[in-house]
A and B are shown apart, each in its own frame.
Chain A
Amino acid sequence: MVNGEHERIEELLAGYALLALSGEDAIEADRLLSEHVPSCPMCRDTLAGFQSVAGELALAPSPVAPPELMLPRLRRQLEHVSGRRRRATLVAAAAGVIALVTLSGLSMSLASRASKAEHAKVQLSDFVGTLQQPGASSVSLTSMDRSSPGMVEVSGPGFERMYIVGRDVPEPAPGHAYQLWLGSGGTFVPVGDMFLPEDGLVYIRLTFDPRPYDEILITEEAIGSRMSAPSRDGHVWHASLTGAA
């Protein structure tokens, strides 16, 4: 590989280390990282160097004490997530659940640094892999107004994850987004960030055990509104979880 080309690769690696690539550049970087960098000592060294710099930059802001409640909340959760050593005990506090939620697929995950298409592939195999596990069960979320297609929820006993997948999901009204709720005995708590379908697709992965809950609801809520109870104004999907676990 000639020098001019290495200069270009270095440019990509610098942007990559700062998580600043998008579009063609991100795809190109992914290709380089799998095809060229592993076998090129010069690029390996450059990448490692730039990633160290990025790691160091993290220290630049002056330290700020996190809220005092954070550590106690973490302590409570350590009990429940002793790694893979003790799997999937119940998550007790709703507040804890919210923080554990990860929403992926709606924005490109930076974790994989993969192109959109590749990322979708990873999600799909993750999802299908879960479906194939013994004990996995799926529940259909039905549209309350019956005009929208349903979504499906997959979980199983002992799983730490629950998935919600939908396609041809309509765009919410302007200024609105979708919100997931988990219900127990008729009381609902909002879970995770609001989300929007991407090209009609919804893919949500929740990392916790859904067993304490008996209902799932997805509603359309005004962005920035203070949500105390699910709104029934827009599209609503619903599923009962009893008997699913």
Chain B
Amino acid sequence: MHEEDRLDLELHRRLGSGDRAAFEDLYRRYAPPAYALALRVTGQDALAQEVVHDSFLALWRTPEAYDAARGPFRTFFLSLVHHRAVDAVRREERLRKRAERASNLEPRTGEDVADEIVEDAYLVERRREIREALQTLPPDQRRVVELAYFGGYTQARIAEELGIPVGTVKTRTLAAMRKLRRALYRED
């Protein structure tokens, strides 16, 4: 286990006894990536704020939702944020058809200027590996993964959007996920 994952684990353990300092440490660590993710998925500041706020509150209320046996705290918590962001964006979609949604998939200008954010080297390094893994995917495969994950689109919707059969979306998704898995968890 990585040293940083171990530290998260310890902070998480302290949440169980209502330790607010531990909560704030986890906030400092994960609020920026959580907010970036929620922004990318929802494309709206207010919605992204609600998602991140609610996610941290949920963590405080029910820390036991995380099971250390199932992987690092980081992936658990950011998955929770992702879940809520996709939920929020689909809820919103029912109210307001957003024609300009697709533009949100591209990083917002300025998003890459990570000003004032001092992140642990470990997170920076992991981000680089993840981006690299995404970049090595054939564009067709990368597109379906990005539309699903960062766009909150269902596979049916992606098929519609790209004008291809759902079966093709599924095949590309599986191929992409297999490659990503190999790239991110290679034995080294």
Instruction: Please list the residues of chain A having a beta carbon within 8 angstroms of any beta carbon in chain B.
Output: 7, 10-12, 14-15, 17-23, 25, 48-67, 70-71, 73-75, 77-78, 81-85, 99-100, 102-103, 106-111, 177, 193-196, 223-224
Besides A18-B145, A59-B127, A66-B35, 18 more A-B contacts (Cβ < 8 Å) are A7-B174, A14-B170, A15-B170, A18-B177, A22-B155, A50-B181, A52-B71, A56-B180, A58-B33, A59-B126, A63-B33, A65-B116, A74-B56, A74-B60, A78-B60, A107-B94, A110-B83, A196-B94
A71:B36 contact, CB within 8 angstroms: no
Given the known A-B contacts A81-B61, A194-B95, are A64 and B39 also in contact in the complex, defined by CB atoms under 8 Å?
A: yes
Q: Is B186 an interface residue (CB 8 A)?
A: no
Question: How distant is A58 from chain B, measured CB to nearest CB, in Å?
Answer: 3
Ranked nearest first, the 3 interchain pairs of A and B with the lowest CB-CB distance are A55-B75, A58-B78, A63-B32
> How far, in angstroms, from A110 to B95 measured CA to CA in the complex?
17
Interface majority SS (helix, strand, loop, mixed), chain B: helix
> What residue in chain B is nearest A224 (Cβ atoms)?
B96
> How far, in angstroms, from A137 to B172 measured CA to CA in the complex?
52
Given the known A-B contacts A60-B130, A65-B35, are A55 and B91 also in contact in the complex, defined by CB atoms under 8 Å?
A: no
B173:A15 contact, CB within 8 angstroms: yes
A61:B107 contact, CB within 8 angstroms: yes
Interface residues of B in 144-182 (CB under 8 A from A): 145, 148-150, 152-158, 170-171, 173-174, 176-178, 180-181
> What residue in chain A is nearest B16 (Cβ atoms)?
A83
B23:A78 contact, CB within 8 angstroms: yes
> How far, in angstroms, from A111 to B107 measured CA to CA in the complex?
27
Given the known A-B contacts A56-B130, A107-B94, A110-B86, are A64 and B114 also in contact in the complex, defined by CB atoms under 8 Å?
A: yes
A57:B130 contact, CB within 8 angstroms: yes
Question: How distant is A32 from chain B, measured CB to nearest CB, in Å?
Answer: 14
Residues of B within 8 A of A195 (CB): 95
